[in-house]
Amino acid sequence: MASTAPDLVDSSAIEWQRDDAPVAYTAALATMEARNHAIAAGEARELAWLLEHPPVYTAGTSADKAELVDPRFEVVEAGRGGRYTYHGPGQRVGYLMLDLGKRGKDVRCFVHSIEGWVIDTLSDFGVEAWRAEGRVGIWTQDVDGREAKIGAIGVRVRRWVTMHGFSVNLDPDLSHFSGIVPCGIEEFGVTSLARLGKQVSSEQWDAALIARADGFLDMLEAARIKACNKG
């Protein structure tokens, strides 16, 4: 596993789980809830879980029912931040159950670090991506030259242990996003690595993401040290 700063943190301290078969969204929620409680109680290791779901629309805590245009798939209250999101085959999801109590207690830094991690991993496949002011998520230039979303982020923190995380569109059916206003943003479309001409398997994506995990954890460690210095 590659590391950008092996003297700071080691991603092997976290348990990594990969699922190739789709996992029902409600089952994943139950697993996250249980793991969150166990980590907070000191009974389990932190977990990074890479998977995909059968088609589902999930509603965040700020979801507006007017943005549920066509509920053709199951709709689940997710409990995370954000609005409506689609998950389905061809989209890789990363759920992070990390103890921010040991990592600086900075939710903004946590989200910022996830964005950087995904952006860096996309660059490994020749896709330039970026953050956008006022719009949480990962953005890139679509085939029509317009800005489009390629990755979504939505997190929840309970007992200073994180839940949920991010998703990246490898090769999903992009028409499935038309049943909602993705993340409440109407003026921008949704794209994928496949639409951009990049054929990336879940195995290839996971390997690249894990190879850059130490850099992600380094950002959280830097935030923790900064917070301690302030104190």
Residue 7, pLDDT > 60, answer: no
Q: Provide the residue ranges of all domains of the chain, joining segments of one domain with +.
A: 12-230
**pLDDT score of 228:** 54
More confident residue, 135 or 56: 56
How far is residue 29's CA from residue 48's CA, in Å, rounded to a whole number? 14
Say how many Å lie between the first and final Cα of the chain, rounded: 34
Whether 114 has a pLDDT exceeding 90, the answer reads yes
The CATH number, out of the four listed (1.10.357.10, 3.30.930.10, 3.40.50.1950, 3.40.50.80), of the domain defined by the range 12-230: 3.30.930.10
Burial class (CB in 10 A: 0-12, 13-18, 19+), 147: middle
pLDDT at 231 over 90: no
User: With contact defined as beta carbons under 8 Å apart, do 40 and 157 qualify?
Assistant: no
Q: Which pLDDT band, with edges at 50, 70 and 90, does 88 fall under?
A: very high
Annotated active-site positions, please?
A: 183
Lowest mean pLDDT, pick from 61-65, 163-167, 179-183: 179-183
Strand blocks (E) in 6-133 = 15-18, 47-51, 56-59, 74-77, 84-87, 91-97, 129-132
